[in-house]
Structure 1
Amino acid sequence: MSKVTDLVEKLAEPILDDMGLELVDIEYVKEGKNWFLRLFIDKETGVDIEECGLVSERLSAQLDEMDPIPHNYFLEVSSPGAERPLKKEKDFVKAIGKMIHINTYEPIDGNKSIEGRLIALDNEILTIEMKEKTRIKKIELPLNKVSKARLAVEF
C-alpha cells in the first residue's frame, strides 16, 4: 500500500469502528488528470448513502486538518457492491459457500482466472468447487498465489 492509503486507513478505522462499519478497501488512483481517494465500506446489513456521507464528512475533516495529500483529489466513500473484493483472510472466511472469482499470479491447471464456489480455507489453502463441462471439479489453491479475488454474482 502507498503512504497515503496507509495514513487514510489509520484515520478511517476509528471512525468506522465508532459507526459499526468495516473498511473493505482503499484506492488512491489517478484517472486522467484527476486523483481519486476511494474508500469502500460495509457491514452485515449493507451500508446506505447516509452512512457513506457521514464517513466522508468525518474523514474529510481529518484530512483537511492534516493535509497529507499535496494536490487536489476527490474523496469517494461507497459500498463495495455485489462483487466485493476479497483482500484479507477474514474476507475469504466470510465468503465460504459463495461464488468467487480469482486471478492468480501463475496458471493453476492452465488457468490464471478461476471462478467457482469457495468450499473451505484451511492453513491458507483455498478449496474451490468449479463446474467443468458436465462434472464438478475441486481444486486447491494456496492463498499466496491469489493476485486478486472478489465475490462473483450468481445467476
Structure 2
Amino acid sequence: MAQQDVASRVAGIVEGIVAPLGMELVDVEYKREGRQMVLRLFLDKEGGITLDDCAEVSREVSEVLDVEDFIGDRYALEVSSPGLNRPLKKESDYARYQGRLVKVKTFELMADEAGNMRKTFLGDLDGCQDGVVVIRLREGQVARIPLVKIAKANLEFEF
C-alpha cells in the first residue's frame, strides 16, 4: 500500500478514536526515516495535549492497527502534539487561528496586492473565505492565497 494511502486510512481510524476524547487529529505522517518506517500522529485539543493523552491514543490506535493489519511494513508509532509551529491544514484551522502570525509557502510564485512575486508569505492571518486565505503581510500589504495553492502553512511563534 502506498504511503499516502496508509496515511489516509490511518487518519480515518484515528479521527474516530480521538473525537470522543475531545481531541483533533491535526496531521498524519507515514514515511521512511533511516531504515525504519515511522507512523506519526499529531493531536491537539483545547488546553493542549498531555503525555497521558498521547499514551492513551497510542495504546488505542495500536490495538486497532494490529487488528486491521493493512500496513505491510514494520513501523514505529509516534503520537505527539503539533508543537508551537502547528501546521494549518483545513479551512477551519485558518478560521480558528485568525489574528495569529503565520508562514505560508505556496507551490508556485504568487503575487501579493503590491505585485511582489514570492512563494513564502509571513504575516497576520485575516482568515479564510471561500477557499482563499487572507494574510496581512509584515510589509503591510495583503496577500490572498487559494488553499489549493498552499504547499505548507504553519503558525509562527513570536518571541
TM-score, normalisation: structure 1: 0.92
Structure 2 residue runs of 5 or longer lacking an equivalent are 111-115
Residue 147 of structure 2 is aligned to residue 140 of structure 1: no
Q: How do residues 43-122 of structure 1 correspond to structure 2 at under 5 angstroms?
A: 43-108=45-110, 109-122=116-129
Between the two proteins, the alignment pairs up a number of residues equal to 152
- How large is the RMSD of aligned CA atoms in angstroms? 1.3
Moved more, 20-29 or 111-120: 111-120
**Which residue matches 2:6?**
4
Q: Is the 8 A contact 2:126 2:135 kept in 1?
A: yes
**For residues 138 and 8 of structure 1, do their structure 2 counterparts lie closer, same or farther at Cα, with a shift above 3 Å needed?**
same
Tell me, in whole angstroms, the C-alpha distance in 2 between the residues paired with 1:13 and 1:131: 35
Structure 1 residue runs of 5 or longer lacking an equivalent are none
TM-score, normalisation: structure 2: 0.90
**Which residue matches 1:34?**
36
Q: Is the 8 A contact 2:107 2:150 kept in 1?
A: yes
- Identical-pair percentage: 39
Equivalent residue letter for 2:92? K
SS of aligned partner of 1:13: helix
Structure 1 residue runs of 4 or more that deviate by more than 6 Å after TM superposition? none
Kindly state the Cα deviation for residue 121 of structure 1 after the two structures are TM-superposed.
Answer: 1.6
Equivalent residue letter for 2:130? N
Q: Is the 8 A contact 2:23 2:44 kept in 1?
A: yes
> Structure 2 residue aligned with 1:152, among 148, 152, 156?
156
Tell me, in whole angstroms, the C-alpha distance in 1 between the residues paired with 2:86 and 2:138: 22
Structure 1, residues 21-60: CA drift from partner, whole Å, max 9, x if none? 1000000000111100000000011010000000000000
Equivalent residue letter for 2:29? E
